[in-house]
Amino acid sequence: RKKELRKLLDQPTVSADGHRVELAANIGSVEDLQKVFANGAEGIGLFRTEFLYMERNSLPSEEEQFQVYKHVLERMNGKPVVIRTLDIGGDKELSYMKLAAESNPFLGLRAVRLCLSKQDLFRTQLRALLRASSYGQLKIMFPMIAVGSELREAKRLLREEQEKLAQEGISVSAAIEVGIMIEVPAAALAADLLAKEVDFFSIGTNDLIQYTMAADRMNENVSYLYQPCHPSVLRLIRMVIEAANREGKWVGMCGEMAGDETAIPILLGMGLHEFSMSASSILPARALIKQLSRGEWVGYIGELLSMDSHEHIQQFVKQKIRGDL
């Protein structure tokens, strides 16, 4: 089986009926790049930048960040690299940044909310990203966007830093894409509005499921509610994909669900363009997609979304793919 999978290393990801999608890797550090190459990723769909800020005593400088982003873009040699701006707060804290205690940190000053309230910190990261953009195919992604005004404010800061760099004579790629993660139900429900203001969406199901089901993703006591294939979650995902498609924008997924064998056929049928996952899931996912008929799965979506439970939906998919394999 391993040998079979290795044959798919340099192959594009195409369904049995010729529909092409992209399989990308999630990374959390420069060291992860090795696995990206070893597993045939077509790009990086999520670069979590938190590691740059954690386990140290002060904020990373612009130069330090620039070097890391540049390195990753250069190593990826023109393949797409989605870099997510800082997602701190919630469960992740910084020892050197004293934040007010919150009784519901996951509903508090987290990710882009924190960045917009600490603009110096945010501007430093944006400048480092902009400077690195000329070394590859950079896509900048804002996490935890709930409403359009957050996106517009983040884009305004990005534009301002870009103008400053231009005045300093520093070149910035003209091809940078700017997108958002869809991980808050409010954003999913208004995806048609947000789609007009972005170049892409990436669905962050780890958080989208937690917020949709009102079940802490780390809390064992409510883990039974953490259901990627629940009709509520799938309906939201379909809304997001359709909203992006209607605006001609690409849409990916970078939560764990993107690498889940039961979810992949459904996502393919719904029209997801990019699946970003742990590098080790890429070759099995490519092998699975090669066996699937995209047209057939498009046809199953209506029926799947009318089923009443996670279990029924999973059972349906498992039966169908057993037939395919």
Residues that bind ligand PEP (CB under 6 A): 46, 48, 87, 183, 204-207, 254-255
Closest CB to ligand PEP among residues 182, 289: 182
| DSSP state letters, 163-208 | HHHHHTT----TT-EEEEEE-SHHHHHTHHHHGGG-SEEEE-HHHH
The residues with which 13 forms a beta bridge, in sequence order, are 21
Stretch of residues binding Mg ion (CB under 5 A), selected from 72-80, 113-121, 205-213, 240-248? 205-213
Closest CB to Mg ion among residues 22, 183: 183
How far apart (Å, rounded) are the C-alpha atoms in residues 100 and 108?
10
Report, in Å, the least distance between residue 163 CB and ligand PEP.
30
Return the closest-CA partner of residue 277 out of 202, 177, 213.
Answer: 202
With 0-12 / 13-18 / 19 or more C-beta atoms within 10 angstroms meaning exposed / middle / buried, residue 315 is: middle
Phi, psi of 106 (to 5 degrees): -70, -15
Report, in Å, the least distance between residue 196 CB and ligand PEP.
23
Q: Is 89 in the site for Mg ion (CB under 5 A)?
A: no
308, two tokens? 């009443």
Max Cα–Cα distance, the chain, nearest Å:
61
In the list ligand PEP, Mg ion, none, the entry touching 131 (Cβ below 5 to 8 angstroms by class) is none
Q: Is 260 in the site for Mg ion (CB under 5 A)?
A: no
* Helix (H/G/I), strand (E/B), else coil: 253: strand
Instruction: Give the CA distances from residue 16 to residues 57, 157, 257, 323, 325, in Å, rounded to whole numbers and listed in that order.
Output: 51, 44, 22, 14, 12
In the list Mg ion, ligand PEP, none, the entry touching 124 (Cβ below 5 to 8 angstroms by class) is none
One of 22, 32, 150, 207 touching Mg ion (CB under 5 A): 207
Closest CB to Mg ion among residues 252, 269: 252
Closest CB to ligand PEP among residues 150, 161: 150
User: Which parts of 165-194 interact with Mg ion (CB under 5 A)?
Assistant: 183
One of 60, 90, 136, 204 touching Mg ion (CB under 5 A): 204
In the list Mg ion, ligand PEP, none, the entry touching 254 (Cβ below 5 to 8 angstroms by class) is ligand PEP
Residue 172 and residue 162 in contact, taking contact as beta carbons nearer than 8 Å: yes
Q: Which residues in this chain contact Mg ion in the complex, by CB under 5 A? A: 183, 204, 207
